[in-house]
Structure 1
Amino acid sequence: MPESAEDVWARIVGASRRAVDGECPECASVTPERIVWEDDSWILSYSDGPAELSTALLLQTREHTRVGQLDDDLATQFGRISNRLVRIIENLPEAEYVDVSRYGAHRGHFHVWFFAPYAQDSKDPVDLHTVATKLANWGGNARA
């Protein structure tokens, strides 16, 4: 039986990350095959979300920082990237809308989740190549 959205949420929110062989757990958990888009300051990766979601994406800084510690340049970049990402996803036929969520601030990197449930008549996942390519139109590198 698949997990409910509530079970997945509880599992993700309750997760803790320990150092892996002395390495930052956030840096260690970024696997190249899950990176959708990146630039010098940011990494956008996908996660396996609950069955109700057409996509679950994680945007995080490369720099070890926390919310409230972003310098003005990073904060401005975050606003632009987030706004563009939401517009891109919400204009795809697979996604109904995008929820933006932040939790787990103790993990060492500023990061925000972007969750999109399926559009009413769709069971197809969001096309990550389209997301990456459109985001790269403003800079950075499409990886998906």
Structure 2
Amino acid sequence: MPLSPAEAYEQIVSATRPALQDGCPECLRATTDRIVWEDEYWILTHADHDANVAAALLLQTREHSKVGQLDDDLASQFGRISNRLVRIIESTPQAEYVDVSRYGADRGHFHTWFFAPAAGDGAADLHLIATKLANWGGDARA
């Protein structure tokens, strides 16, 4: 059964990333062990999540930027990557659907969450997601 919007939002904001001491939070959280996929301009990382979540992924720019500051090329890349990522995640048997959301706009990077409640089969295969996304460019890291 699909989650209500309120339930989905609660699970998105409860996805956790490690606490940090100093520096840019987005740069410091994009550690090698959390990177799923990356290219010259973008990094896709995973966040810890409950068992009833198939995937909690964060797509962010490498450069410090905010919404409305992306040039046309980056904005176009974001649209293509996001569209492909949603299709890839939704094609896995573990994902019920994908919510795409942005919050925390005051942080140092443009970033967007891709959150997939589980369809009852556990966590999505991050390696499969990374490999399929890398078919269009970039490097699979998971």
Unaligned runs of 5+ in 1: none
Q: Is the 8 A contact 2:54 2:122 kept in 1?
A: yes
Match of 1:66 in 2: 66
Could you tell me whether the CA contact under 8 Å between 2:15 and 2:47 is conserved in 1?
no
Do the aligned partners of 1:101 and 1:114 also contact (CA within 8 Å) in 2? yes
Match of 1:134 in 2: 132
Unaligned runs of at least 5 residues, structure 2 = 1-6
Q: Following TM superposition, by how much is the alpha carbon of 1:7 offset from its aligned partner in structure 2, in angstroms?
A: 5.9
1:105-135, CA deviations, whole angstroms, 9 ceiling, x for partnerless residues? 101100000000111xx33210000000000
Q: Secondary structure at the match of 2:79?
A: helix
2:42 maps to amino acid: W
Q: TM-score, normalised by structure 2?
A: 0.86
What is the count of residue pairs matched by the alignment? 135
User: How much does 1:24 deviate?
Assistant: 1.5
Of all paired residues, the percent bearing the same amino acid is 64
Structure 1 residues 81 and 51, CA gap change in structure 2 (3 angstroms): same
Deviation at 1:50, TM superposition (A): 2.7
The aligned residue for residue 116 of structure 2 is: 116
Which letter maps to 2:105?
A
State the alpha-carbon separation in 1 of the partners of residues 15 and 102 from structure 2: 11
Aligned to 2:3: none
Residue 44 of structure 2 aligns with an amino acid whose one-letter code is L
Cα distance in structure 1, aligned partners of 2:12 and 2:133: 27
Change (3 A) 1:97 1:6: closer
Across the aligned residues of Structure 1 and Structure 2, the Cα RMSD in angstroms comes to: 2.3
Which has more radius of gyration? Answer: 1
Structure 1: which 4+ aligned runs deviate by more than 3 Å?
4-13
How has the CA–CA distance of structure 1 residues 131 and 11 changed in structure 2, closer, same or farther, with 3 Å as cutoff?
closer
TM-score computed with the length of structure 1 as normaliser = 0.85
Aligned ranges for residues 1-144 of structure 1 at < 5 Å? Answer: 9=12, 20=22, 23-119=23-119, 122-144=120-142
Q: What's the secondary structure of 2:106's corresponding residue?
A: helix
